[in-house]
């Protein structure tokens, strides 16, 4: 697919600008968006690489294709966190965890595994703080 974006890799620190064809371009760090499998709804891979035997519906998290879903609006359930929203919802706690991990891994130059562990710890601490605040009120 044609695009106007250009990705340039640097092993050292990024420059603020790059010159190309007599034009100066501002450089920014590329932070990838989370990949969600269209088959199992999990993060980190695409449907072509999925090892899951059965598909999971992104609307109700049951073992069927999205087109065959008969779930009512009140039966919507995320396949990743179990909350009452679609698996495609970008406000999902799991989506935010993975997104934060990708940002950490890119900006702090750490492995995705370590970044995900930090992101999970941060989410758990935020949940604990929110519970503590609710009980004090």
Please tell me the predicted confidence (pLDDT) of residue 137: 55
Positive or negative, the CA dihedral 33, 36, 37, 42 is: positive
Cβ-Cβ contacts under 8 Å for 30 (sequence gap 6 or more): 7, 106
Q: Which residues of the chain have pLDDT under 50?
A: none
Please tell me the predicted confidence (pLDDT) of residue 136: 62
The partner residues of 26 in beta bridges, in order of sequence, read 17
Please tell me the predicted confidence (pLDDT) of residue 98: 95
**pTM, full prediction:** 0.78
**Residue that the structure tokens 């007599």 belong to:** 22
Please tell me the predicted confidence (pLDDT) of residue 135: 62
Please tell me the predicted confidence (pLDDT) of residue 133: 66
Please tell me the predicted confidence (pLDDT) of residue 56: 95
At residue 67, φ and ψ (nearest 5 deg) are: -65, -25
Please tell me the predicted confidence (pLDDT) of residue 13: 86
Nearest to 31 by CA among 134, 85, 112: 112
């Amino acid at each position: 697919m044609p695009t106007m974006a250009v990705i340039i890799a640097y092993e050292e620190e990024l420059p603020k600008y790059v010159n190309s064809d007599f034009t100066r371009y501002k450089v920014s760090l590329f932070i990838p968006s989370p990949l969600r499998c269209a088959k199992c709804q999990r993060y980190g891979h695409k449907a072509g690489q999925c090892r899951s035997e059965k598909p999971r519906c992104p609307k109700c998290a049951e073992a069927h294709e999205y087109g065959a879903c008969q779930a009512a609006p009140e039966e919507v359930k995320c396949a990743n966190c179990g909350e009452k929203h679609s698996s495609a919802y970008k406000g999902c706690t799991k989506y935010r965890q993975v997104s934060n991990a990708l940002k950490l891994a890119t900006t702090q130059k750490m492995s995705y595994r370590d970044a995900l562990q930090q992101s999970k710890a941060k989410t758990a601490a935020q949940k604990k703080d929110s519970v503590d605040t609710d009980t004090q009120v």
